[in-house]
Chain A
Amino acid sequence: MNKIIPVLTVLAVIVAVWYAAAIRMNSQWTYDQAARAGTEVTLSTLVKDTLAQERPKLPAPHQVVAELWNTTVEKKITSKRSLVYHGWITLSATLLGFGIGTLGGIALAVGIVHNKAMDLGVMPWAIASQTIPILAIAPMIIVVLNSMGISGLIPKAIIAAYLSFFPVVVGMVKGLRAPDQMQLDLMKTYNASGAETFWKLRLPSSMPYLFTSLKVGVAAALVGTIVAELPSGATRGLGARLLSGSYYGQTIQIWSALFAAAALAAALVIVVGILERAVLKKMGMAQ
């Protein structure tokens, strides 16, 4: 209960500010309409009108909630107008990309930790890859892959993987290097091979680091997928909903897609967190 009160307070403040902003930002249209019709705008009509426009600059919270309700619960999930349907399209590409990025990231980290040449050669490229704006590179990847006849899920997953592998590499390298000199010396006194040291010491040591990076990585994969859905003329996925919304000035649709994306990201991070707690608890490492 003590935890909920501050959260609710913050939420209430946000909603209040949001309503105020909606009234202010949408008032211009109301005044223009009134001027055209030659009527006066009273405060009550101002509030009523600004919070119920069809294409407001900033939709009011209850409009977004209604749209979310309408496009999730009320629509069949196979419908093109269902957010659940679009969410699933985005989620499937996110999970595939996240899987590829995670496996690739772990493999790279193992290489970097065990091979001096890879340590010097790969890390700078991994860092450089993340300095290229994703908005610049995503359309290129999509176009190139499209010209090769690859479209749909795969190109989106590749961009998701591109964004999610990096935090995994960084966290995993740190984790695999977490054992101190004494622990490594101990393995040496047992005459342990590199593989044994990896499986019995480095890998278990890296688990807390891995999960921390996975939480960042899964959110990054979702961003990558949504960005990949923007330029391709795609008609499916949360990114496509965002884009078509902005084409037609459907701000309510944009905002509800945004909230769906945020909810999806939160859900993914929570799932990874639950997995983390389960694994670390099983290993006896839960704090």
Chain B
Amino acid sequence: MGMVREKYSGKNKDISQMKKPVIDAQGVDLTFQTNDGPVHALKDVNLQVDKGDFVSFIGPSGCGKTTFLRCIAALETPTGGKLTVNGLSPDEARKSRAYGYVFQAAGLYPWRTIAGNIRLPLEIMDFPKPDIPERVEKVLDLVDLKGFGKKYPWQLSGGMQQRASIARALAFDAEILLMDEPFGALDEIVRDKLNEELLKLWAATNKTIAFVTHSIPEAVYLSTKIVVMSPRPGRITDVIESTLPKERPLEIRDSEEFIKIAHRVREGLRAGHAE
């Protein structure tokens, strides 16, 4: 561990000498062995994510965004390189409840109410019974679903279901939120609203968020750091540190600064495609 940190601070002396990265990937490789031969899903991925960062992964499908997120979550194991989460191996980090994971589909249990679904991780992680209702209320409030605890998932719209799944991921106070195209299945209007709310939530909770998306405006609007990826083999082609202020009304998307960053993302995506 010590070695990793030294190596890191050596590389990034100018940026954050004091802060140790929450997610630290060094030369991460992952090759899936499939029946059609090996698939090189990740190649030499180097990335440092600091505490409180909002990092977006953007790139065409098949470029390894999901795979990288799953590596952080210890749902996949890299075949090469070094990956630490909070200074721990991903598996240890998972066991120490370092992250909450939000999938593309809300995946709420139909036999549990919204509050029951949020209670699920708390029950599994053995939170003291008396604390649970208060926690559920708190996260329901955070995602703007106050008063919907007793409803069943089918009684809620797609956007509300996805908010409930975010609440579920927030319930146990993980410091990292991993989100894999959480709004991908929603229409644009709902999506805008949820993006705005997510930023508020991020500001209120000071979490580190890793967010996978297909949408350039979404990535630029949300992120402090945008990771552009390209496929075959899946790799990082550009990392853009956003210069936008932390306070971001929706109108910021018409600003010059925003358009400049969006342009650079588009260039990065095009360059990855041209190769």
Contacts and interface: CB of A to CB of B under 8 A. Distances in A.
B107 A284 contact: no
B99 A285 contact: no
B113 interface: yes
Contacts of B152: 284
B14 to A, nearest CB: 35
Interface of B: 73, 75, 94-95, 97, 99-101, 103, 105, 107, 109-113, 120-121, 123-125, 152
Contacts of B105: 182
A191 B111 contact: no
A231 B225 CA distance: 80
Interface in A223-255: none
Given A182-B103, A185-B75, 16 more contacts: A182-B105, A182-B107, A183-B107, A187-B124, A189-B100, A190-B120, A191-B95, A191-B97, A191-B125, A192-B124, A196-B124, A204-B111, A283-B111, A284-B110, A284-B113, A285-B111
B109 A190 contact: no
B75 A189 contact: yes
Contacts of A185: 75, 101, 103
B120 A191 contact: no
Nearest to B121: A190
On chain A, which size bracket covers the interface?
Answer: 10 to 19
Contact of B124 (A182, A200, A284, A285): A200
Given A201-B109, A204-B109, A285-B110, A190 B124 contact: yes
Given A185-B75, A189-B75, A191-B94, A284 B99 contact: no
A96 B94 CA distance: 47
A230 B94 CA distance: 61
A188 interface: yes
Contacts of A183: 107
A186 interface: yes
Interface in A254-287: 283-285
Nearest to B94: A191
A200 B110 contact: no
Interface string A162-187: 00000000000000000000110111
A201 B107 CA distance: 12
Contacts of A189: 73, 75, 94, 99-101
Interface string A193-229: 0001000110010010000000000000000000000
Contact of A284 (B95, B100, B101, B111): B111
For the complex of A and B, 4 pairs with smallest distance between CB atoms: A283-B111, A284-B152, A189-B101, A190-B124
B111 A188 contact: no
Nearest to B101: A189
Contacts of B120: 190, 200
B123 A200 contact: yes
